Amino acid sequence: MTEAVQAPVAAPGRYGSFSLGALRLALPMTALREVLPLAPLTALPCQVPGLLGGIDLRGRTVPVIDLRSMLGQATAPAGQGACVVVMAHEQPCGHRGLLGLLADGVDSVFSARPEEGSQMLPACDAPLIFSHCITADDGQRCSVLLPQALGALCGAPMVPEHAATGAPAGIGTTGRPVPTLLLRCDKVLMAIDAVAVQSTLADPQLDTHTALAQGVCRGVAASTLGPVPAVDLLAVVGLAAGARRTPPQAVVVQLPTGPLALMVDEVVDMVDRAPGGVVPLPALAMPQHTLFHGVMQAPGELPGTPVMLLSIEALCAHDELLRIASAGRPPAARQVAGPASAHAADTRGRLLVTFVLGSETATPLDQVREILCYTPDLARFAGSGPMLGVTLHRGRAIPVMCLSRLLGGPPPEVTPAASVLVVEVGGAPVGFAVPALAAIERARWQPGQPRRSMVLVGEAETERMLPLIDLQQMAQALQAA
């Protein structure tokens, strides 16, 4: 009997999705170059439907179009968080060009197999700029754009993907070049795959008045994605040699627990590296050698200079970075929709903030809206009750309670390590002062959800059972009193 031969299953493709008004769009990651904050645009002397102007991309002016105008749909002014998705496209002449697409915001990177999509065919001779619709990880349907068709139809001037002089740097004899962002950290050159970078921050405005600003974290940076925790990349890879640096630029990457800004001294350029043009990094060469794919040679004006190529997969598995990224997310973003997911988040694996309150205590991280430093400028109130006073933060007055007094304990000694855990109930913030934060850890086991229960955290010798406090329930009780 002859066995039936099964056709090989196509490998899943990777897509980056973004939104523009009512449109939910996606690009193949092979065509997506980077995402830029929407900056002032340069007027271009050409008549093209939907052309907004040109945006500066490290010395090159990339045309930016609004797809809604191009498609005859209603438009609206760009809102806060608007950005430009830079796409590479093939021209009939064989050259590759760059085109900017206006977006309200980037959504996610996801994988899907070709057979999972719903193919779209043009009606008669009417051209289409998208090939099929596909479902992203969040369940929403996306229209997958055709970069070549879009580049040919929009009529915008073509900006070469590579410099006009000589061959594009880093292209080998076989295979496509891999777009790579070149970074400088002090005197060390590093690089990261461009498709892993959601945004670049030329001059991040950093909020350092937060309890996150410790260790490798330098604070919270403003970005098109909202507030993002920012870490010194040189310190993350173990090369800061104890110096507490605050580099002036950053690139934002998406980790499983949220976005994270990697602070660098300079975003040097977008370069191409040849497939296979990376050699292994010896373990002795770097304190955190597992964070790198290997070493590549710098192109262009720095031939022969070694460049350490970061691994986005290793960054996404780094426990400390995952905790920092998660702590910077608002509660709504940390919670997973759906009854089954909510139950799973309430038991094993839920992230907790642990802090010192006589003994070590924990509270669910997804209840904490922000973590603030306890500063002397608090408007103090007289009395021996739990109310300490009011602090101003981001234009809001936040009442600050002594958590120790609320639980019947003595007022703790106030030190520079004291912090305020801010929760929100009905949009109103309430702060709970604690003497010192300990860590952000995952629960291994948690029974029920009473106001004060116990939770198991840690591994092996660090395993311990801690009291668990529901701060949100406490805030509700205080507001109802």
Q: Express each pLDDT in 224-257 by its tens digit.
A: 567 889 999 999 999 987 678 889 999 988 887 7
In this structure, are 126 and 192 located in the same domain? no
Residue 273 CB contacts under 8 Å (≥ 6 apart), including other chains: 170, 177, 178, 180, 191, 296, 299, 309
Are the C-beta atoms of residues 204 and 265 closer than 8 Å to each other? Answer: no
Pairing of strands 258-264, 228-232: parallel
Are the C-beta atoms of residues 434 and 357 closer than 8 Å to each other? Answer: yes
pLDDT in tens, 174-183: 456 677 888 9
Domain count, the chain: 3
The tokens 């990349």 sit on which residue?
233
What would the mean pLDDT of 450-460 be, rounded to a whole number? 66
> Do the domain assignments include residue 7?
no
In this structure, are 373 and 302 located in the same domain? no
Q: Which domain holds residue 112?
A: 13-160
Distances in whole angstroms, Cα of residue 123 to Cα of each of 127, 128, 410? 8, 9, 76
> Do the domain assignments include residue 333?
no
What HEC string does 134-167 produce? EECCCCCEEEEECHHHHHHHHCCCCEECCCCCCC
In this structure, are 117 and 186 located in the same domain? no
Pairing of strands 419-425, 387-393: unpaired
Residue 347 CB contacts under 8 Å (≥ 6 apart), including other chains: 443, 445, 446
pLDDT in tens, 69-94: 888 888 888 877 788 888 888 766 66
The Cα–Cα gap between 361 and 466 comes to: 6
**b/e per residue 413-435 (b: at least 16 CB within 10 A):** eeeeebbbbbbbbeeebbbbbbb
In this structure, are 435 and 466 located in the same domain? yes
Could you tell me the pTM of the whole model?
0.49
What's the CATH number where 107 sits? 2.40.50.180
The Cα–Cα gap between 354 and 419 comes to: 12
> Do the domain assignments include residue 209?
yes
What would the mean pLDDT of 243-272 be, rounded to a whole number? 86
Query: Sign of torsion, CA 73 76 77 82?
Result: negative
What percent of the chain is modeled with pLDDT above 70? Answer: 78
In this structure, are 19 and 154 located in the same domain? yes
> Do the domain assignments include residue 338?
no
> Do the domain assignments include residue 385?
yes
**Which has more confidence, 119 or 450?**
119
> Do the domain assignments include residue 32?
yes
Confidence at residue 107, expressed as pLDDT on a 0 to 100 scale = 75
In this structure, are 154 and 249 located in the same domain? no
Q: Name the least confident of 123-127, 303-307, 373-377.
A: 123-127
> Do the domain assignments include residue 334?
no
In this structure, are 295 and 420 located in the same domain? no
